Amino acid sequence: MKSYLLLPALLLLPQCARLSPQPAYPQPVRSAPASVPAPRAMPPPQQAPLYPASATPAPNAAYTSSWRRTSALRTQELSAGAQLHDFTARNSTEAAEVRVVIFDSQRCAMRVLDQPSANAGSGVITPLMRGVGAIAGVNGGFFHPNFSTLGLMIADGRQTGQFAKTSLVSGSFIMIGREPYLVWNQEFLGERGVSQLLQAGPRLVDAGQPLPSLNRSKSAVRTFIATDGKRQWAIGTVHSTSLAGLGELLASQGILPDIQVQRALNLDGGRSTAFYARTANGKDISLPGWSTVRNYLAVVPR
């Protein structure tokens, strides 16, 4: 009789082992995100995976660095309370021009915009952003020479590519229901219930600290996404820094206005770097970069 009683428990062990690891990083917990209808190519969602940790770890000591602003903030109002800030900054070895949009995730959502045409030209960012009513947007993740995505992309529920685990593609931007997350590869719980996903990397900031392994020998134009782990998010571009310099800049207290970055992820940069914003009075600010890119990340009003 005992063997019959043990059988159901043994059958549950693989599922428990699969679901038991939880990300150590705290994310906002307001309410369980609603399930998002999946396209026919994906299995129907059941209960969406939840990325918030069950217990909030003690905060790390604040990071201090030699980065300082060297100009006043030039701020423009966007819709839904978002703001565009431009400024310059420098540390002991690098100087940077920063363009960043900061917004509240309760008033704005984010969408991955797939751009499958290799011949579209970099200027396609403007009609794409206008077409979804975007407040702001930047170029997205990496792609192969044949224009296929490097890693996984989910744009409005449609999946392209496969989840990759490499030192370059080490994190993802994810939307589940109304909640955005920055998730590291080891925390990824699968595609179920995910409406938007963009793999990129490397990781720049974790738990408020810059990643110590980042390269500081090569300077380039960079694109990034960042969050304070609560409601404040930022997307932007920097001309030009090393990856280590960018991580240190984003983690520095008081450099970005109105947000203390807890996590940040590098997006494709260099010739792919592109930026878009639409001011509250309807003016387009479009800096399309030099290359056609496979996808964009757009901020849209709720």
> Quick check: is 90 in a domain?
yes
Q: Which of 208, 279, 285, 291 is nearest to 248 (CA)?
A: 208
Identify whether 20 is part of a domain: no
Over residues 121-152, the pLDDT tens digits come to 999 999 999 999 999 999 999 999 999 999 99
98 lies in a domain?
yes
Least reliable range by pLDDT among 7-11, 174-178, 293-297:
7-11
Residue 8 predicted with pLDDT over 50: no
Instruction: Please say whether the beta carbons of 122 and 296 come within 8 A.
Output: no
**Does residue 64 form part of some domain?**
no
**How high is the pLDDT of residue 52?**
52
115 contacts 293 by C-beta, under 8 angstroms: yes
Domain total of the chain: 1
pLDDT in tens, 93-103: 999 999 999 99
pLDDT at residue number 14: 39
In a domain, 49, yes or no: no
CA distance 282 to 57: 42
Domain that holds residue 114: 78-301
User: Would residue 11 count as lying in a domain?
Assistant: no
* Mean pLDDT score of the chain: 85
Question: Does the pLDDT at position 17 exceed 70?
Answer: no
Q: CB under 8 Å to 216, separation ≥6 — which residues?
A: 242, 243, 244, 245
Question: pTM of the predicted model, to two decimals?
Answer: 0.82
Task: Give the pLDDT mean for 258-283.
Answer: 97
pLDDT tens column, 221-236: 999 999 999 999 999 9
Q: Could you read off the pLDDT of 24-75 as tens digits, one per residue?
A: 333 443 433 444 344 444 444 444 455 654 333 445 567 888 899 999 999 9
| Domain assignment present for 16 | no
